[in-house]
């Protein structure tokens, strides 16, 4: 891969709002070249989507996230792709990943409550023919999402000590 393309992608991955002019200043390319390169990367599917990371807690919107691990049985003449395609169509599902180890697939799901997530798993996921078993892990707190720190560490302020 061309080093300039890699640099453009890294800038956009860290800040999807970076303008072609800002990227041009970082890469030494012209803004027009950057725009053309980005358009080509979008057309070919290298750039799939632009995303905003929202800290819902800061506006009082309470979502519950859970990581669900699945053991699956593959259907004849179908691989993991077929079950992943069925699962990722549910709007509650935020991510689907193929794993190595004890479980085959990992999902991240979002709901309004733990009960909503539990019902989703029980009614929509566990009932799929290919799913042998599930393990649900509720996310208690997210510190970092897609490379972005959500909660800055509090600085410890020492009190002055006098003798």
* Residue 90 pLDDT class (50, 70, 90 cuts): very high
Total number of residues shown for the chain:
163
Question: For the chain, what are the domain ranges?
Answer: 3-44, 57-144
CA distance linking residue 11 with residue 16, whole number of Å: 8
pLDDT of residue 75: 81
Give pLDDT tens digits for 54-75. Answer: 888 889 888 999 999 999 999 8
pLDDT at 106 over 90: yes
The DSSP 8-state label assigned to residue 160 in this structure reads: P
Least reliable range by pLDDT among 9-23, 34-48, 89-103, 149-163 = 149-163
Percent of the chain with pLDDT over 70: 92
pLDDT at 137 over 60: yes
User: Between the CA of residue 95 and those of 43, 67, 109, 120, 161, what are the distances in Å?
Assistant: 23, 9, 7, 15, 51
Name the CATH code of domain 3-44 (choices 1.10.3470, 1.10.357, 1.10.10, 3.30.1300): 1.10.10
CATH number of the domain located at residue range(s) 57-144 in this protein: 3.30.70.920
pLDDT at 124 over 90: yes
Least reliable range by pLDDT among 35-44, 120-129, 138-147, 148-157 = 148-157
Q: What mean pLDDT do residues 131-140 have?
A: 96
pLDDT at 1 over 60: no
> Any residues with CB less than 8 A from the CB of 139 and at least 6 apart, and which?
64, 65, 66, 67
Q: If 0-12 CB within 10 Å is exposed, 13-18 middle and 19+ buried, where does residue 35 land?
A: middle
């Amino acid at each position: 891969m061309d080093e300039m393309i890699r640099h453009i992608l890294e800038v956009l991955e860290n800040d999807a709002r970076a303008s072609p002019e800002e990227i041009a200043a970082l890469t030494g390319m012209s803004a027009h070249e950057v725009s053309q390169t980005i358009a080509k990367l979008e057309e070919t599917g290298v750039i799939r989507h632009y995303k905003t990371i929202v800290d819902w807690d800061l506006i009082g919107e309470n979502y519950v996230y859970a990581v669900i691990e699945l053991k699956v049985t593959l259907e004849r003449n179908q691989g993991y792709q077929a079950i992943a395609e069925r699962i990722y169509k549910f709007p509650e599902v935020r991510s689907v990943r193929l794993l190595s180890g004890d479980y085959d697939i990992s999902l991240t799901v979002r709901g309004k409550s733990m009960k909503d997530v539990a019902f989703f798993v029980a009614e929509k996921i566990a009932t799929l023919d290919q799913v042998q078993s599930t393990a649900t892990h509720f996310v208690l707190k997210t510190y970092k999402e897609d490379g972005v720190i959500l909660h800055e560490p509090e600085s410890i302020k020492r009190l002055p000590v006098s003798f």
